[in-house]
Amino acid sequence: MATGTTGDFWSDKELPAILKHEILKRYVPKFVAKLSSTNSKVVLIDGYAGMGRYESGQSGSAVQMLEIAATLVRTPGREVDVHLVERDFETFSRLQSEVNEFLGIEKLNVYLVHGDIGEQLNEVLAAAQGMPLFLFLDPCGLGINFEQLTEALTLHRPRSMTTEILLNFSADAVRRIGGQVADADKFPTSLARMDAVVGGDWWRAEYSGDFDKRSAEHAVVLGYISRLGTKTGMATFAVDAKRKLHHKPLYYLVFGTRHPDGVWFFADSVARSARTWREALVDREEQNQPALTGITETNEELNTKLEERACEVIQQNILQLLNSRGDFVVGNFPSEVFGDFLGEVTETVVRRAIKELRRKGLTSSPGTGRIDQIQVTRPS
């Protein structure tokens, strides 16, 4: 069992885990497929690998990465290294038995590491020198120290190297430890641990004086991802993972990339995964409380309304880019194109927005072809 987990953690996937694993299922194949076309090998790292599978038989992140890699290496010319790091000995032993079926697959190289990712990170990153890298860090509670993470990435992954990270940043821990700031003398250890994880005591000011809990949490998350991006040369953003729609986030999935394509395709993966998560939520609630069925809008109705609002905003964002930059390719400006709807709606809404602008005579672009490569042009 992974250190810090409860006894039934591995019994079945909780709803936040469904979102997380859906994102991995959608995004990691895109990452590997795109990068393997120009590189001989791609590297995947799971720094908190766990035991590989839930008791229900569902894949955990480690086995999921191996399943994805095993499928992708069937394509000639692709090779994938998967490094799985786990600290707890009992959990590591279970993990070893789960990965046996993937050993011996041609062009899939599996490396099991028994140890703490904070202590092993430099060595693991050194093994990925010169190769595209996707690093997944999913601890239970607070994870790797900020300086350990950013210094390792800076040392072994210069900004010219394709490097992407996805990490679990605990919202529960932020709220719990944030509540201790007023009595700092009573909680020196936990406060110091938080300082180490976020890269200094700057965050304490958000929980000082007369603060709003939601605003304080939001400011800490934004401050963390901003500092992480600056230190590593990455564009970063965070996705909240909840048990239910109106619950507080259990944790944030923080993504970092050095290429606009990463932002574009990850955001699209998040939007598609969120739909699956909402469907799973409805299914579970109907099983537990069937009388509630039909009281609220369906997922399809909610999705339709969301996409309609997003389409209007994206049209305005595109027009602003046209005015400020002239003709441009949408995939080069994912944050500017999607705006507040980044990760909320899929890339197909961008196509709809472009076609609507064409209908209005505001662009000559037909909105056809691969969406991220569509060039938006001024009306001819």
pLDDT tens series, the chain, 380 aa: 233 333 343 334 466 678 888 999 999 999 998 887 777 799 999 999 988 887 777 888 999 999 999 999 998 889 999 999 999 999 999 999 999 999 989 999 999 999 999 999 999 999 998 899 999 999 988 899 999 999 999 988 988 889 999 999 999 999 999 999 999 999 999 999 999 999 999 999 999 989 999 999 999 999 999 999 999 999 999 998 877 767 788 889 999 999 999 999 999 999 999 888 787 776 655 555 444 444 456 777 778 899 999 999 999 999 999 999 999 999 999 999 999 999 999 999 999 999 999 999 999 999 999 999 999 999 98
Is residue 36 located within the same domain as residue 92? yes
Under the phi-then-psi rule, with left for phi > 0, alpha for psi from -120 to 50, and beta for the rest, what region is 237?
A: beta
Is residue 275 located within the same domain as residue 323? no
* C-alpha to C-alpha distance for 322 and 135, rounded to whole angstroms: 35
| 190 in any annotated domain | yes
Q: Which residues contact 178 (CB under 8 A, 6 or more apart)?
A: 203, 206, 207, 213, 216, 217, 220
Is residue 170 located within the same domain as residue 250? yes
Q: Which residues contact 380 (CB under 8 A, 6 or more apart)?
A: 364
* C-alpha to C-alpha distance for 72 and 164, rounded to whole angstroms: 19
Which residue matches tokens 């040369």?
A: 233
Please state the φ and ψ torsions of residue 113, each to the nearest 5 degrees: -125, 120
Is residue 108 located within the same domain as residue 205? yes
Q: Give me the helix-helix angle, 348-359 and 299-325, nearest 10°.
A: 60
Is residue 80 located within the same domain as residue 188? yes
Tokens of 45: 């790292």
Contact 311, 353 (CB under 8 A): yes
| 89 in any annotated domain | yes
* C-alpha to C-alpha distance for 186 and 248, rounded to whole angstroms: 26
The CA-based angle 72-78-79, given to 5 degrees, is: 95
Determine if the pTM surpasses 0.85: yes
3-class secondary structure per residue, 273-297 = HHHHHHHHHHHHHHHHCHHHCCCCC
- pLDDT score of 283: 62
Is residue 72 located within the same domain as residue 192? yes
The residues with which 159 forms a beta bridge, in sequence order, are: none
- pLDDT score of 68: 93
| 78 in any annotated domain | yes
- pLDDT score of 285: 55
Is residue 306 located within the same domain as residue 277? no
* C-alpha to C-alpha distance for 379 and 377, rounded to whole angstroms: 6
Is residue 225 located within the same domain as residue 320? no
Q: How many domains does the chain have?
A: 2
* C-alpha to C-alpha distance for 309 and 228, rounded to whole angstroms: 31
Q: How are beta strands 108-114 and 80-86 bridged, if at all?
A: parallel
Q: How many CA atoms lie within 13 A of 284 on its CB side?
A: 13
Under the phi-then-psi rule, with left for phi > 0, alpha for psi from -120 to 50, and beta for the rest, what region is 28?
A: alpha
| 178 in any annotated domain | yes
Is residue 198 located within the same domain as residue 334? no
* C-alpha to C-alpha distance for 315 and 196, rounded to whole angstroms: 42
Nearest CA-CA partner of 373 in 342, 355, 350, 346: 350
- pLDDT score of 287: 53
* C-alpha to C-alpha distance for 354 and 175, rounded to whole angstroms: 41
Q: Please report, in angstroms and rounded to a whole number, the separation of the first and last CA atoms in the chain.
A: 63
Instruction: Tell me which of 281, 313, 348 is where a domain ends.
Output: 281
* C-alpha to C-alpha distance for 136 and 245, rounded to whole angstroms: 25
* C-alpha to C-alpha distance for 129 and 31, rounded to whole angstroms: 17
Range of the domain at 320: 298-376
Is residue 243 located within the same domain as residue 315? no
Tokens of 282: 């409805």
- Which ranges constitute the DSSP H helices of the chain? 15-36, 61-72, 89-99, 117-127, 146-156, 171-178, 188-198, 213-232, 260-288, 299-325, 334-338, 348-359
Instruction: Tell me which of 226, 252, 281 is where a domain ends.
Output: 281
Which residue matches tokens 């537990």?
A: 288
Is residue 326 located within the same domain as residue 366? yes
Is residue 128 located within the same domain as residue 232? yes
Q: What is the CATH number of the domain that holds 72?
A: 3.40.50.150
